[in-house]
Structure formats: C-alpha cells, structure tokens
Amino acid sequence: MFYKLIDEINKLKELKFDEISKKLEDIIFNTDNFLDIIYNIGIIPESIGHDTTEEKAFSKLSDIVLARAFREIGLDSDVLKTRGNSADVYAESKIHKYSLVADAKSFRMSRTAKNQKDFKIDALSKWKKNEDYTILCSPYFQYPRKKSQIYKQSLEKNVCLLSWEHLIFLIENKIKEDKYLNLKNIWNFGNLYSEKISLKDSENNFFDNFNKKFCITINIDNAKLNNTLINQINIITNRSIEEKSYLENEINTIKNYTKEQAISKLIKSQKLEDRIKHIDDFIKKVQL
C-alpha cells in the first residue's frame, strides 16, 4: 500500500498543491491498510527528489497520517490548513477536554547529519499558542541516541517527543482514550520528568524513562513495546534494501548515458534553466 501511495504522489505532481492534499486525505482517511503506511511513513523514499513538489506532497502525507493516527487512538484530529509559522496537525480530547498541536517528521536514510533545527522544538513551542500540549512525531531511531540539545529544549518547553513507533504500538494494541484512560500523562511528560532531574542531565536521551511512563499510562508491559521496536528495525532494514536498490539502479542508468544525456541531466539537476526563468520573472515585476 505504501509504495502504491508513492506512485500516486508521482502521478499527482501536475495538480495544484491543495488538490494533491485533498486527494491524499481521501486516501489516508479511508484506507483499510493504514498500518502498512504508518510502518513506512518515517522514511522519505529516495525516488522522491529533494526540494520537489513530490517531497512537499510527502511532507503533507505525513501530516495526514499523523492526524489519522490520532483518530485511531480516540482523539478528534485534522490537518490544519494554515500556511507557515503554524503547526500542521490539531487534535483534541472530547472526553478529557484538552487540545494539542503536532508536527510530523520524516527523514531520508541517506541523510545522516541532523541538527536541533531539523526538529523545530522552539518553533513548535511557539505554535502551541492557546492549546494545552505540543507533540513532535519523528521516527524513533532518528532521535539522537545520546546527549542532544533537543532533549533539553523539549523539557524546557514541554514539547512531547513522540515517535511513529509509539503510535504504531498504540494502534496495534487497540489502545483508545476513554473515560478511564487519559493520554495527557504522555503528552505532559516534559513537565513531569523535568522536575526529577538536574540541569546537567537535561541533555541526556530520556527515552528509557519516557517509554516506562508511556507503558505505565496505558497499562501494558514495557517488553511489548520493545517487541514493536524490534519489528520496526526489521521493517527499516527491508526498506534500506529497497532504497539502496533504487540508488544503485540510478547509478547504472547514469553510467549508460550518452554525453548529451549526461549534460541535459546535469543542467536539470542544477535547476539552471529554472533559475534563469526566476531571474527573468523578477525583472518583469521590477519593471512593472
């Protein structure tokens, strides 16, 4: 289902972005194969070019998947339509009367260097505005393994560092918020945990503690969550084979280019003609 969705994104690239978003929402909010999508959504396929319409569509897809995931665990949720300087997903608990905003993150396997700006903790805390909680949802294994400023920032600003794997676990185990289960104890982890540690430890990876709190809240043994993480490692490993195969095929294709094809591809990859057009468009506006 996931790769069919990627094919769909490639077919939709000629449409306006709002039309693409609407079609993706129709697919995600109505599919019966949602788990297959959420298993894979944390990894941007190498077949999707960097800084392209397809990459923007994939980013929107991840927002829609996050909204559907919140619905699966009993919250009312939707993708926000506002553009820029705003969170992408809104959710609320009708039962326990709280609200939250969230941002979805996905990464390429081929991009290993990340910094704290990639996680947008500070921006998310500002986008919270009048809502009760803020969540960043990223692939579990893309969070820094040891010390990082993002852990300190998340505690200071009470931004919950969630993962796609945590949501997978909730959905697989059919966990839904009800009058007896209040998930705000997960979203509010930053406030609760920051009271227990010293400032010098605030940059340490806290996921062992977060996972314990997560499992206690939903009353499921921590070992079951570890099984989900192990299963996800297997899925990621299989994805790595797919992604490497795509890149290897690209290498072989390029090796067989004629000189003219190679020149044309290089010009296109550098977006040289597009940049010339942008300069011409700018001059036209200035002259008006």
Both ends of the chain: CA-CA distance in Å? 49
Q: How far apart are CA 139 and CA 86, in angstroms?
A: 21
**Length of the chain, in residues:** 288
Query: According to the model, what pLDDT value does residue 65 have?
Result: 97
DSSP 3-state percent helix, strand, coil across the chain (nearest 5): 60, 10, 30
Query: Contact, 106 vs 43, CB < 8 A?
Result: yes
- Say which residues have a Cβ less than 8 Å from residue 174's Cβ, sequence separation at least 6: none
Query: Contact, 134 vs 158, CB < 8 A?
Result: yes
Q: How far apart are CA 143 and CA 26, in angstroms?
A: 30
Query: According to the model, what pLDDT value does residue 51 have?
Result: 82
What dihedral angle (degrees, nearest 10) is formed by the CA atoms of 57, 58, 61, 63?
-100
DSSP-assigned beta bridge partners for residue 135? 102, 160
DSSP state of 43: B
CA 129 and chain centroid, separation: 21
Q: How far apart are CA 179 and CA 88, in angstroms?
A: 27
| Block residue for tokens 């795509």 | 246
pLDDT in 10s for each residue of the chain, 288 residues: 787 778 777 776 677 777 888 888 988 998 988 999 999 999 999 988 888 888 988 999 999 999 999 999 999 999 998 666 678 999 999 999 999 999 999 999 887 656 677 788 988 888 888 999 999 999 999 999 888 999 999 999 999 999 999 999 999 999 999 999 999 999 999 999 988 888 788 899 999 999 999 999 999 999 999 999 999 999 999 999 999 998 999 899 989 999 999 989 888 887 788 888 888 887 787 775
Query: Contact, 9 vs 58, CB < 8 A?
Result: yes
The strand pair at 133-138 and 98-104 is best described as: parallel
Q: How far apart are CA 128 and CA 85, in angstroms?
A: 11
Q: How far apart are CA 267 and CA 264, in angstroms?
A: 5
